[in-house]
Amino acid sequence: MRALPCLTQPSQRLPSALALNCSAASCQYQHIKQSELERGESEEQAEAIAARTVNKHRRQEGRTPNKRTQGTGNPNLPLADLPRDELYNRAKDAGIAGRSRMSEAELVQALGKSLGK
């Protein structure tokens, strides 16, 4: 098995969905991709597996937020049009107690009261 050099040149591009800040993540990506290629995966599948693995480790280390809980969605949409996860995030920002046990409709109602709508 030959060692794969780490990517340090901007011309050696990784998938755009992979936000890498350090050479360690780049080396990890290349190592996983190479391992998957050696196992017989296609180039595309090996890249996808490597990207998911690196992102998973970044989330576990707290360097990347969990996709489900990151943000509060489009601020221009009415509360009733937002998914429950976004309503929960807004309720958390507003300091609404008991939000984890609330349904989507209850979150809309509680947020409406706290925002004066």
State how far the Cα of 82 lies from the Cα of 103, in Å rounded to an integer. Answer: 13
Whole-number Cα distances in Å, 49 to 1, 15, 19, 35, 44 = 20, 12, 15, 10, 9
State how far the Cα of 113 lies from the Cα of 48, in Å rounded to an integer. Answer: 44
User: Is the pTM higher than 0.75?
Assistant: no
- Does one domain contain both 48 and 79? no
Which domain does 91 fall in, by range? 67-115
Q: Report the range out of 3-17, 60-74, 98-112 with the highest average pLDDT.
A: 98-112
- Does one domain contain both 60 and 8? yes
36: pLDDT strictly greater than 70: yes
State how far the Cα of 98 lies from the Cα of 90, in Å rounded to an integer. Answer: 13
- Does one domain contain both 48 and 10? yes
Q: What is the pLDDT of residues 21-32, one digit of tens each?
A: 446 778 889 999
91: pLDDT strictly greater than 50: yes
